[in-house]
Structure 1
Amino acid sequence: MLDTLPAINGSGAASELLIDLGAIKQNYTDLKERLGGVECGAAVKADAYGTGMDRVGPALFEAGCRTFFVATVDEGIALRGLLPDARVAVLNGLLQGTEEVFPEYGLIPVINDLGQITRIRQMCVTAGRALPAMLHIDTGMSRLGLTAGDMKRVSEEPDILDGPDWLYALSHLVSADDPADPSNAAQLKRFREALPHLQQRMQASLANSAGIFLGPDYHFNLARPGFALYGGRVKDGEPSPLAPVVRLSARVLQIRDVKAGDTVGYGGTHKVRKDGRIATVAVGYADGYLRALSSQGAAYLGKLRLPVVGRVSMDMLAVDVSDVDPADLHPGGFVDLLGPHYTVNDAADAAGTIGYEILTGLGHRYTRRYIDAVSGES
């Protein structure tokens, strides 16, 4: 999809982040089909993983998604303003001082401990009705959710759950992107062991993006994909089976001849081996292009790979354009730093991190343009 699009729209922007809403909708549809009849939700936390919740939320709703997950109350309030008819769940839970916010904005708290259970029950009494909630069970992450001890108490005192309208019991997989990791089966076993105490009250949700690809045993009643919707990989070390969503095109500020022995960038960490040409590009770590990509990352001009050389600085980086015909690139032109030939997953591998960090770290100095390459809209 992105491979057929122009790199820039002719504006004077230093760089452009192009986001393909059609690809996001297609990825959602593909994941939904893989789930069979199981409901497919969507995680749109962190501003839809850096792609813009204000545009992505409505696009996913248009694609059929009705249950959305955010991290914070503020994100939930913002999404509610965009999607008045969606179910919006807040993963960070029911924190003290937020009790009035959830019913006011129709948000669903994901309950993470026994104290929050007490809090949601009191809220139901105050409201005079059963408020919706979800119950998070920790099966191995040791982060949020009811512990094994908490679940023992729930099994011994089932009335502790009286009051709320419990929608789902959920848990989060630790290593779903590694299908061979035994923790997947161990978490599935713990989750199943917890459900008999809960299934008369609520349905179940375990699979994140990668969990969907572990197979039907992990699907239960609702899946919660996030990273995969935005083109992220679902299996460690392998290309994503889903469509790329973002394309980052950056403007060339200057092209200069360099001689063998010249150095490039701060610290002189790159030494030119033979005479050539270097292009200075208007993107740096202040734009979310990680400093770890110094002499590791790559830009592309069409299908031609241009290695990043020297240190990435705050506002600029350098690429070796010695192999580019001078007629094909000049100051004011653009190269792709992310796109169909170099995805967020590729950049993450080069930086020694994960695609989540690349995607969510994209800055706000870019001119953002939204298109739908599937329908041809822009």
Structure 2
Amino acid sequence: MAANLAAYRAQLSGQTAILGVVKADAYGLGALAVARKLSQGGVNYFGVAALREVEELRQGGLTAPLLLLSQPDPQYAAKIVELGATATVYESAFAEQLSRAAPGGIKIHVKVDTGMNRIGLPPGELAGFLRGLEKYKNLEVEGLFTHLACLGAAGRKQLAEFADCVSAAKKIIPNLKYVHALSSLAVGEFPEAQYDMVRLGIGLYRGVLALKSRVMLVKTIQPGEAVSYGATFVADKPLRIATISAGYADGLSRLLSNRGRVLLNGRSYKLCGQICMDMCLAVVDDTVAVGNEVVLIGAQGGQEITAQELADLTDTIDYEIICGISKRVPRFYLE
């Protein structure tokens, strides 16, 4: 992770701040541990998606600024203030409620929707919205941001619209501290649009995770015998089958049934039969024994299984693969 952070820093201006995105438990890696590690690397602002995530980080002792990346229901305004989070704002009713809840003041970032069509303020309404915020003296507009839906030409179109928004905003708030539009994948594509901050998530986390288990049992089955639910795999000859302590409740998608592979003793073995809630099975050889380490994601003996490989096999993205590793899987952090 430190190497990934350093690689991004090499692409950024020395004045560009990094917001470490640790939502969804830092994409499944463990938000508090990741935030602490990134803090050691000089990251001093973090982004989350839910108030519960803010609460967990504060309870864990993280005091750095936390940007809540979306606007919750107005009834939670007081909780945002209590937790000392920076609020995202794009609706007048929420701004009013937040002002009432924060007599001592609170920092906010205004979200503009330049084409994602998910959340945010329409660009044409930005100037009027910012002028409307001027009556709330306790709301400090610290930032302005947008979210790109695509790279390439579509991303450039969004950035052009956002540039107009930035110009309009700075006529009203000349000392706007943070303007941000780029996430991990966009930094390399649009280096000219770094502004004051970039939001880094998946780009920090790729290649840092290994998902491992152990062999529970090894047995030989005969021709015509099936394994697991639905009998979707039937032996055509005597086969050694290893039962592995990992299943879909741990984050191993059932879509990998009869398709995925595991690493054992530096060799690759195919999964067989339906992946169960707590276990999966693989066709192995005589070198495999009970207690052997099994790599589900990661490297072993010159072989590697990446989250992207699993994503390709299950028609998804690597984000979903690592976010899907469940809470019951223990996390160990190695330097």
Within 5 Å, which residues of 2 pair with 1:105-116?
Answer: 105-116=83-94
Among 271, 276, 296, which residue is 1:337 paired with? 296
Matches of 1:205 and 1:369, distance apart in 2:
33
Aligned match of 2:191: 216
Structure number with greater CO (CA < 8 Å, separation at least 6) is 1
Residue 150 (structure 2) pairs with residue 159 (structure 1): no
Within 5 Å, which residues of 2 pair with 1:26-175?
Answer: 26-37=3-14, 38-123=16-101, 126-127=103-104, 129=105, 131-147=106-122, 151-156=123-128, 158-162=130-134, 163=137, 164-175=139-150
Amino acid across the alignment from 1:33: A
Work out whether residues 296 and 351 of structure 1, in 8 Å CA contact, stay in contact via their aligned partners in 2: no
Amino acid across the alignment from 2:166: L
Residues 256 and 84 (structure 1), Cα distance of their counterparts in 2 relative to 1, 3 Å cut? closer
Work out whether residues 166 and 201 of structure 1, in 8 Å CA contact, stay in contact via their aligned partners in 2: no
Amino acid across the alignment from 2:168: H
Residues 57 and 157 (structure 1), Cα distance of their counterparts in 2 relative to 1, 3 Å cut? closer
Among 234, 245, 253, which residue is 1:290 paired with? 253
Work out whether residues 265 and 293 of structure 2, in 8 Å CA contact, stay in contact via their aligned partners in 1: no
Amino acid across the alignment from 2:297: L
Identity, % of aligned positions: 27
Residue 192 (structure 2) pairs with residue 229 (structure 1): no
Amino acid across the alignment from 1:332: G
Aligned match of 1:263: 226
Q: Residue deviations 1:316-360, cap 9 Å, x none?
A: 1111113xxx2x421122211111311212111111111122111
Amino acid across the alignment from 2:154: S
Matches of 1:302 and 1:270, distance apart in 2:
24
Aligned match of 1:207: 182
* Range with greater deviation from structure 2 (347-356 or 74-83): 74-83
Amino acid across the alignment from 1:342: I
Aligned match of 1:11: none
Residues 222 and 115 (structure 1), Cα distance of their counterparts in 2 relative to 1, 3 Å cut? same
Residues 368 and 264 (structure 1), Cα distance of their counterparts in 2 relative to 1, 3 Å cut? same
Work out whether residues 74 and 98 of structure 2, in 8 Å CA contact, stay in contact via their aligned partners in 1: no
Matches of 2:268 and 2:84, distance apart in 1:
49
Give TM-score, length-normalised by structure 2: 0.89
Work out whether residues 126 and 165 of structure 2, in 8 Å CA contact, stay in contact via their aligned partners in 1: no
* Length, aligned pairs only: 323
Matches of 1:332 and 1:158, distance apart in 2:
62
Residue 154 (structure 2) pairs with residue 195 (structure 1): no
Matches of 2:108 and 2:160, distance apart in 1:
24
Gaps in structure 2 of 5+ consecutive residues? none
Within 5 Å, which residues of 2 pair with 1:360-375?
Answer: 360-372=323-335
> 1:139, CA displacement in angstroms?
1.2
Aligned match of 1:281: 244
> 1:263, CA displacement in angstroms?
2.3
* Range with greater deviation from structure 2 (156-165 or 346-355): 156-165
Matches of 2:160 and 2:265, distance apart in 1:
48
Give TM-score, length-normalised by structure 1: 0.80
Residues 253 and 84 (structure 1), Cα distance of their counterparts in 2 relative to 1, 3 Å cut? closer
Q: Residue deviations 1:85-126, cap 9 Å, x none?
A: 4111111225312222233222100113232233344445x3
Residues 301 and 280 (structure 1), Cα distance of their counterparts in 2 relative to 1, 3 Å cut? same
Let me know the Cα RMSD of the aligned residues.
Answer: 2.0
Amino acid across the alignment from 1:271: V
